[in-house]
Amino acid sequence: MNSLFMNDLLMNDLLMNNLLMAIPLLPLCSAAILILFQPNERWTRILGVSSVSLAALLALLLNVQVWDEELFIIQASLGEWLSIGTSELASQHAGSLKLSFGLYLDPLSLVMITIICCIGALIHVYSASYMIQDADQCRFFAYLNLFVSSMLILVLADNLVLLYLGWEGVGLCSYLLIGFWYQKTDNNRAANKAFIITRIGDTAMLIGIILLFYQFDTVNIQQIQQQSQVFLQANTAGENQLIALSCLLLFAGAAGKSAQMPLHSWLPDAMAGPTPVSALIHAATMVTAGIYLIARNDALYQLAPQVLMFIAIIGVLTLLLGATSALFQTDLKRILAYSTISQLGYMFLALGVGAASTAIFHLMTHAFFKALLFLSAGALIYCMNHEQDIMKMGGLRKKLPLLALSFAIGCAALASLPMTSGFFSKELILQQVAMAEQPLLWWGALLGALFTALYSGKLFFIIFMGKPGHAPSHKTPAVMGAVLIVLMILALFGGIQPQGILHQFGELTLDSSSGLTLLEHGLPILVPLIGVILAWFLFGQTRGDKPVNRVGLGRFIHSGWGFDTLFSSVFITPFKKLTYLNRHDIIDASFRALETVSYRLHLMFNRLQTGQLRRYSASLILFSILAIAWGVIR
Amino acid sequence: MTLSLLILIPLLGGLLAWYSQGFNPNLPRRISLFTLLGSLAYLGILTLTSPLARSSQWLFDESHVWIDRFNITAHFSMDGLSLVLILLTLLMGLVALSSAWCEIDKHQGFFYFNFLWTLAGIIGVFLAMDLLLFFVFWEVMLVPMYFLIAIWGHENRRYAALKFFLFTQAGGLLMLLSTLALVVFHYQETGLLSFNYHVLILAPISSPMAIWICLGFIIAFLVKLPAFPFHPWLPDAHTQAPTPASIILAAILLKTGGYGIIRFVLPLFPDAVQFWSPLMMSLAVLSIIYGALMAFSQHDLKRIVAYSSVSHMGFVLLGCFSLNMIALQGAVMQMLAHGLSSAALFMLVGLIQQRFHSRDLHQFAGLWRYLPQLSAMGLFFAIASLGMPGLGNFIGEFLVLVGALEQHASFAVLASLGLILGAVYSLRMIQKSFFGPFRTQGSDLESPASTADTRIPLTSTSEQASAKVAEHAKPPALPSPYPDLSLKEKLTLMSIAAGLILLGIHPQPLLDMLEQPLAQVLAYAITGSAL
């Protein structure tokens, strides 16, 4: 779309602008109040929950406002950030850099803020009940609100640097919340790991942003997209390696944040945080930021088809890694974490074959059913007195019927059984891959779907079927139940009307599946069913309590394909050893050597100063003779 | 008298503080407070009442005859760059004063005398426009700082003070020689004997010796900055100095190095700067990475912060020698932001040391348990110093990277490793000091006796802490054995935090103020003539 066209779409409605500005600012203000004034627990809950709920209401209101519009853009500005070299004085020596706090709302960001605000609000309500006994609620809600606000800034930013601000902000909040229970050293390790691994990706991304700035002379996302489209039409892109490089660097950031291979290993450990945090940050929203980034820069990525191919390959590898690892886990939250990694892999696969809207669709349905699964898991862990090992559970369907239902729906959607939300989106991804004529990728994704169905089935059957294990100690609190019911509805029916979403991107690709063979149509529907049935036979009746011995391949897969060991032996241990060896600073030592040498010299010459007259006169005579001799010889 | 008064106020205040000790040991610190506030007020009045002429770089200019025989003058000028740095000096002086308020309890008079004279020397450095005068102030800020470390420092203070003195003095000597050589060459080429910056800058010397003269200046400033491999004085000086001196050192004194490069090296030696630029940028990258690696391996909190300063000041050096507007702006922003964040971090370390009588990470852990406010502040400033967007340090590092990438992409990419390593050592510091189970060691003598019994069960439960420990476990409501932040400390730290946030989201006023001086510097550095 050219800029003229864009101007027509621009909506200059004061009300909408204010609405848009209020959405990220509400949680930010509430976080600031919570940090600065630290109200009592009751007010903390009220403030923390209401600010996000209000933001969610505003987001829904925005949805209503633009309901009939097909394409629209709302822009608002929270002010200038900085500008350098824009005056004529300095412009002769530098390019000009101009950054602003500009917000930009189009269908893509509208979908994102709706997901973030609504899921966020639900999870805040749930947390108010989940965290009720915790002494540190103020800190918890402050971090959580700050997270929602940063995430909203991330998806609303109109330039890449502001996006980076939100990007680092969510990373920070994720770090703080993973390590929320700071007294346990393991939690802090997990938090550090998460922050540092994502930071590696982020730094690459920052370099990518700077490279883009020099390519396009701007960091404004829309201008970059428009210029890319011009390049694409002019067909001069093929030779521009720098653009491809910056795309790759941006993807590195996305891979870090969205836990793609090889930067995925932080996500399973991140489950150390409170369960609502895992649901909100490490399943529904933050980890999808990478998908958003690439979908947002769709036009730019069209210029670098080889990078897109690379993304698709990484996506498939990651989805296989996630799905197989999930199959071998026994910790409830780790299963879900690996499953998240795997589902994110599906989204990157979709992005890689050029189906950004499909990726966003799957992002949305995944947000629904994964939030449902995590919150159900949280409730289950709460009811089971903080037991997370599924092997110690079993036959819980009678005692916890609500949770059984919510798990059933969540697992079904995860396995993409027909008529659940996950079914529609994953079907669509497989279709797109088939249409992109990448048979290897398609088979990989299909294999992943089989594994997904297998572990979803295993999860459900072991916990709720089979012989009873430990008995639950609590009942599901009512507030949690209510939130679960809402999410169940979303997870079931959230995928019924994808046209709305897909349509808004202006690239309608749904009905064009005519070129597919029966195999390509039928298998994706059948495979999950087969997987679940297989799971029933494998795990349906087992009483899980027996210890699990893992050797060889099983152990390798259980550890997430050994990436932790690899990193630790290649990077961490040498790094620690090196820094430990040099802890006294070799440069300092060399300066100290200077000190030692001069001290030795001092001692040496000191010895000449004996105070004996005959020595002095002897040396005097000796040197006089030498001097005379030297003069004579010359 | 407009500008010299800025220097005279702290000089006289210092004398008065020393003299007043005889009457009341509490007087010196009050006099210092009034002196600093008075200077700030005077600076405020100066900048507000003067018509800020946008057409000229210089806001104020003042000249007195000094040594007429050699045409040496007492010449002071102030432009946006000096103004910003003097403002930083006075504000961080207040921070240092706040931390000195209770910590310094012997020889107060002499302490505050040295304290104020150091500040006066620093302000003089930022104002002096005559090379010999500049050298004089360079020494004036050095000697009192030596006393601050040598008298009020910690266990190994004599060694550290001497090391600090020797390093800086060696650098100063090089600078003096280079100054003389510069003036002589300039005299030979133009027939004009002058130590005046405004004169020298107009006709950069063309002799091939310019490269070496330039190097003399650069090394003097590198020592101060400090850049690899001239940094070893810094960790010792920082560690042994009393907290207020650490704050002045980190927050302001290091900045004189960056200031010197921007003010003198770049415009005076345009060709030599081009020549040295790749080497200096590699030194900058080395500082960034080496400082970060060293910071990771330390377990003395002050040493960690000191090495992190080496790493952060590497960005300043990188920005200075990238020779473009964005990078230069970034270098100055980094100086300001690092001034704020390192001052706060040193102050926090000082507070921890007050409470636990140790800075060693092996001696305590898990401070959040009892000192949530202090730890939250520590968390904030550590996060700021690792370059979180929205806070000042990010602006500096980002702009430097943007500028450096244009000049030498490979250096920028290597320097960005500093961002990752910065996260690594900062998080390690946070984790080891604030998080984890609460623990102190060998503190029976130092900690209040009442805590001895409460501490033991705590450590034992925390060691057994497994997955079984309830996620919701409320910590038992124990009275905190250690006092958290007092109101004064809280106010000081909060205002620094506010400053960092302001720098991070609204740096434009400062950038505007810096634009003209830096553009001028760049014009000289690149084309060899004024704009």
Q: Where are the domains of chain A?
A: 316-547, 549-575, 584-633
Q: At what angle do helices A356-383 and A289-296 cross, to 10 degrees?
A: 170
A416: left (phi over 0), alpha (psi -120 to 50) or beta: left
| Inside any domain, residue B274 | no
Same domain, B311 and B220: no
Of the residues B290, B435, B438, the best mutation for testing chain A's interface (the one with the most A CB atoms within 10 Å of its CB) is B435
- Structure confidence by residue, pLDDT tens digits, A297-330: 888 888 888 899 999 999 999 999 999 888 888 8
Integer Cα distance of A366 and A115 in angstroms: 11
Provide CB contacts within 8 A for A627, sequence distance 6+. none
For residue B368, the model assigns a pLDDT of 86
The shortest CB-CB distance from A172 to any of B388, B437, B506 is to: B388
Question: Which of B390, B435, B474 has the CB atom closest to A179's CB atom?
Answer: B435
For residues B225 and B331, state if they share a domain: no
Tokens encoding A558:
């259980």
**Phi and psi (nearest 5°) for B76?**
-115, 140
B515 inside domain = yes
- 8 A C-beta contact, residue A373 and residue A123: no
**How far off is chain A from B294, nearest CA to CA, in Å?**
6
CA distance to A51, A54, B88, per residue, from A18 (Å): 16, 14, 37
Cα A279 from Cα A292, distance rounded (Å): 18
Residue A14 reports pLDDT greater than 80: no
Note whether residue B467 is domain-resident. no
Q: What interhelical angle do B301-322 and B409-433 show, nearest 10?
A: 160
**Contact indicator for A103, A158 with CB cutoff of 8 Å:** yes
**B262 plus B301 within the same structural domain:** no
**In chain A, what residues touch B465 (CB-CB under 8 Å)?**
183-184
Say whether A218 sits in a helix, a strand or coil. Answer: coil
Does residue B289 sit within a domain? no
pLDDT, position A170 = 93
Max CA pair span of chain A: 117
Least confident of A89-103, A603-617, B184-198: A89-103
Rounded to a whole number, what is the distance in angstroms from the first to the last CA of chain B?
A: 29
Distance, in angstroms, between A274 CA and closest chain B CA?
A: 8
Residue type, A496: I
- B326 contacts A386? CB cut-off 8 A: no
Which residue of chain B is at minimal alpha-carbon distance from A181? B471
Q: Which residue has the higher pLDDT, A518 or A177?
A: A177
Q: What is the mean pLDDT of residues A55-64?
A: 88
Q: Which of B293, B424, B516 sits opposite A89 (nearest CB)?
A: B516
Interface of A with B in 549-588 (CB under 8 A): 575, 578-580, 582-583, 585, 587-588
Cα dihedral A74, A78, A84, A86 sign: positive
Pull the structure tokens for residue B33: 């407070």
Q: What is the mean pLDDT of residues A132-136?
A: 82
Residue A2 has pLDDT above 50, yes or no: no
The residue segments making up the domain with residue B88 are 1-51+58-268
Domain membership of residue B2 (yes or no) is yes
- B64 phi/psi in degrees, rounded to 5: -130, 150
Contact assignment for B427 to A192 by CB distance below 8 Å: yes
Note whether B264 and B302 are same-domain residues: no
Q: Are residues B44 and B173 in the same domain?
A: yes
Structural domain count, chain B? 2
Q: What is the mean pLDDT of residues A438-442?
A: 85
Residues 114-173, chain A, touching B (beta carbon < 8 A): 131, 133-135, 161, 164-165, 168-169, 172
Residues of A in contact with B515 (CB under 8 A): 84, 87, 89-90
Q: What is the pLDDT of residue B384?
A: 92
Residue A267's nearest CA partner among A368, A358, A350, A335 is A335
Q: What percent of chain A stands above pLDDT 70?
A: 90
Would you say the C-alpha torsion B491, B494, B499, B500 has a positive or negative sign?
A: positive
Residues 6+ apart with CB under 8 A from A117: A23, A52, A55, A56, A58, A59, A60, A148, A152
Nearest to A426 by CA among A343, A510, A331: A343
Q: Do A591 and B518 touch (CB under 8 A)?
A: no
Are residues B240 and B309 both part of a single domain?
no
Q: Which of A9-23, A542-556, B285-299, B338-352 is least confident?
A: A542-556
pLDDT confidence of residue A501: 56
Do B263 and B310 lie in one domain? The reply is: no
Is B475 within a domain?
no
**Mean residue pLDDT across chain A:** 84
Whether residues B406 and B514 fall in one domain: yes
pLDDT at A9 (0 to 100): 55
Which of A585, A586, A591, A594 is the best mutation test for B, with the most CBs of B within 10 A?
A585
Q: Quick check: B465 and A183 CB within 8 A?
A: yes
Closest CA to B350 of B501, B502, B144, B492: B492
- Has residue A391 got a pLDDT over 50? yes
pLDDT beneath 50: ranges in chain B: 443-474
**In contact, A150 and A170? CB cutoff 8 Å:** yes
Q: Any CB–CB contact under 8 A between A242 and chain B?
A: no
Task: Name which of A94, A578, A583 is nearest B326 (Cβ-Cβ).
Answer: A94
Same domain, B259 and B313: no
Q: Do B428 and A181 touch (CB under 8 A)?
A: no
Q: Is the pLDDT of residue A136 over 70?
A: yes
How many CB pairs lie under 8 A apart between chains A and B? Answer: 162
Structure confidence at residue B469 (pLDDT):
41
Burial state string for B44-77 with b = 16 or more CB within 10 A and e = fewer than 16: eebbeeeeeeeeebbbbebeeebeeeebbbbbbb
Strands A10-11 and B58-67: unpaired
State whether residue A384 sits within 8 Å of chain B by CB: no
Q: Say if residue A174's pLDDT is above 80.
A: yes
The torsion angle over the Cα atoms of residues A339, A341, A347 and A350, rounded to 10 degrees, is -100
The angle that helices A289-296 and A160-178 make with each other, rounded to 10 degrees, is: 170
Backbone phi and psi for residue B264, each to the nearest 5 degrees, phi listed first: -105, -50
Task: Kindly tell me if the per-residue pLDDT of A548 is higher than 60.
Answer: no
B430 and B493 in a single domain? The answer is yes
Nearest CA distance, A461 vs chain B (angstrom): 24
